[in-house]
Structure 1
Amino acid sequence: MEKEKETIQLVSMSYIHSPELINIIKSITKNSCPNSVNFHMHSTYSDGSLTAKQIYNQAIELNIDHYAITDHHSVDAYIELSKINDSIYKERSNFPKLWTGIEITCLLKGCLVHVLGLGFDHNSKYLLPYVDHKAAIGKELLASTVVDSIHKANGIAVLAHPARYKLPFYLLINEASKLGFDAVETWYNYERACNWIPSEYVCDKIFDCANSYSLLSTCGTDSHGLSLLRR
């Protein structure tokens, strides 16, 4: 028992303090990603190239403050990292905070879109239709159901990269606001530049649109490759 008490938990995490996460998101600017905050990335548990442990190591090396692994319909990366007690880094005074994350496919205004869930309880029964590595069907495919499920799991619902869909972003953001979305992934590199940078014109327009509906703005690299600094 004493030995267990002495064990140092080195992966800092949270899924029960949504007010804290909301305050972090409120502080995000176009310059926050990728060096300070990165709320969109993928591991080998879905379609990424990095393992969960490799992402963890990069987040430490890059001195990222807050990050979330948002694999498609999976929280396995979070579960894996929640078990890490890595003595290699025991001398560090602080660690990047890993928040729960997931990317869920759904229908919004009849358009297939992606929703990021952040800061939720990964053990919540409400997320069961969305954590089995495949898209939901029927009622569970509707954006309204996805948002409700994320909220019931004490999480935050974010419309991912709103300028990548068949419908204009302003229509989707308007509909998202009606359904109770909390935020929009405003700062995103639509050109997929080697050095990640938000696409200035479209992201500024998305920022104005999100603000007009009192929606928060998040950011993320949507990393699928070998670096968290680019897509």
Structure 2
Amino acid sequence: MINKDFLCIKNIIKSVTKDSCPNSINFHMHSTYSDGSLSPIEIYNQALELNIDHYAITDHHSVDAYLELVKIIESDYLDSSFFPKLWTGIEITCLLKGCLVHVLGLGFDPSSKHLLPYVEHRSAIGNELLASNVVDSIHNANGIAVLAHPARYKLPFDILINEASKLNFDAVETWYNYERAPIWIPSEFICDKIFDCANSYSLLSTCGTDTHGLSLLRR
């Protein structure tokens, strides 16, 4: 059964353009719960200062940052409508067409039993490492499955996106700063090609800074 959060985040992703990140929508960042430099509360404070509309902390194989922030936000007894919308997020390592890739899960139920193999701060093994099983697990948890930064792998992005479409991925992380420029900007030529490729398979396009450092405005 598809819940309203799934439909809501899907509509938000449909609105993403190359100009959405980093100031409006940022669906890829890391906290100290994986390999990031910012604590969850530091991410939260920056999201407030930057007036970000929607964001997700996508730690590797962990949802602890989300759970921590939800407690803090709820304990403030403040009107959440005035704050950036925090969505559940995770980054999962898996095999797609025999190539090691990363998959982002967005908007899922963090308590879902279907995600248990992927939220234990370690990479999956065996059949759980297959992209098909990762996508199914994210979908069973009412989430969106996204192929992260498709031009960073050993196989060409068009081959990986084609395979992702066959496995019912929902989206591709199209807008990404591959050059790691100090001022975040999507790499125009490659991102435009990825956008066209994703569209040819009716896949949505997301964006994110993939922040590991001290600013949500850059990687």
Q: Which residue of 2 aligns with 1:158?
A: 146
Whole-angstrom CA distance in 2 between matches of 1:166 and 1:16 = 37
Q: Which residue of 2 aligns with 1:174?
A: 162
Q: 1:92 to 1:16 in 2, by over 3 A?
A: closer
Q: TM-score, normalised by structure 2?
A: 0.96
Q: How many residues align?
A: 217
Whole-angstrom CA distance in 1 between matches of 2:57 and 2:144 = 14
* 1:108/1:175 contact within 8 Å kept: yes
* 1:16/1:119 contact within 8 Å kept: no
Whole-angstrom CA distance in 2 between matches of 1:31 and 1:198 = 9
Whole-angstrom CA distance in 2 between matches of 1:61 and 1:148 = 36
Q: Which residue of 1 aligns with 2:50?
A: 62
For residue 54 of structure 1, give the secondary structure of its aligned residue in structure 2. Answer: helix
Whole-angstrom CA distance in 1 between matches of 2:57 and 2:86 = 8
Deviation, 1:75, is 0.1
Q: 1:31 to 1:136 in 2, by over 3 A?
A: same
For residue 71 of structure 2, give the secondary structure of its aligned residue in structure 1. Answer: coil
Q: Which residue of 1 aligns with 2:64?
A: 76
Q: Return 16-25 or 36-45, whichever deviates more.
A: 16-25
For residue 78 of structure 1, give the secondary structure of its aligned residue in structure 2. Answer: helix
Q: Give the unaligned 5+ runs of structure 1.
A: 1-14
Q: Give the unaligned 5+ runs of structure 2.
A: none
For residue 218 of structure 1, give the secondary structure of its aligned residue in structure 2. Answer: strand
Whole-angstrom CA distance in 1 between matches of 2:37 and 2:184 = 17
Query: What does 1:7-26 correspond to in 2, within 5 Å?
Result: 17-26=5-14
Q: 1:86 to 1:152 in 2, by over 3 A?
A: closer
Whole-angstrom CA distance in 2 between matches of 1:66 and 1:74 = 19
Partner deviation per Cα, 1:4-43 (whole Å, 9 max, x = no partner): xxxxxxxxxxx85111101100000000000000000000
Q: TM-score, normalised by structure 1?
A: 0.91
* 1:18/1:154 contact within 8 Å kept: yes
Matched, 1:33 2:32: no
Percent identical among aligned pairs is 81
Whole-angstrom CA distance in 2 between matches of 1:82 and 1:89 = 12
Q: Which residue of 2 aligns with 1:123?
A: 111
* 1:52/1:77 contact within 8 Å kept: yes
Deviation, 1:84, is 1.0
- The residue type paired with residue 195 of structure 2 is F
CA RMSD of aligned residues (A): 1.6
Partner deviation per Cα, 1:42-97 (whole Å, 9 max, x = no partner): 00000000000000000000000000000000000000001014788948861100
Q: Which residue of 2 aligns with 1:221?
A: 209
Q: 1:112 to 1:93 in 2, by over 3 A?
A: closer
Partner deviation per Cα, 1:160-218 (whole Å, 9 max, x = no partner): 00000000000000000000000000000000000000000000000000000000000
Whole-angstrom CA distance in 2 between matches of 1:92 and 1:67 = 14
- The residue type paired with residue 16 of structure 2 is I
For residue 114 of structure 1, give the secondary structure of its aligned residue in structure 2. Answer: strand
Q: 1:69 to 1:85 in 2, by over 3 A?
A: closer
Whole-angstrom CA distance in 1 between matches of 2:56 and 2:170 = 16
Q: Which has the larger radius of gyration?
A: 1
Whole-angstrom CA distance in 2 between matches of 1:89 and 1:223 = 29
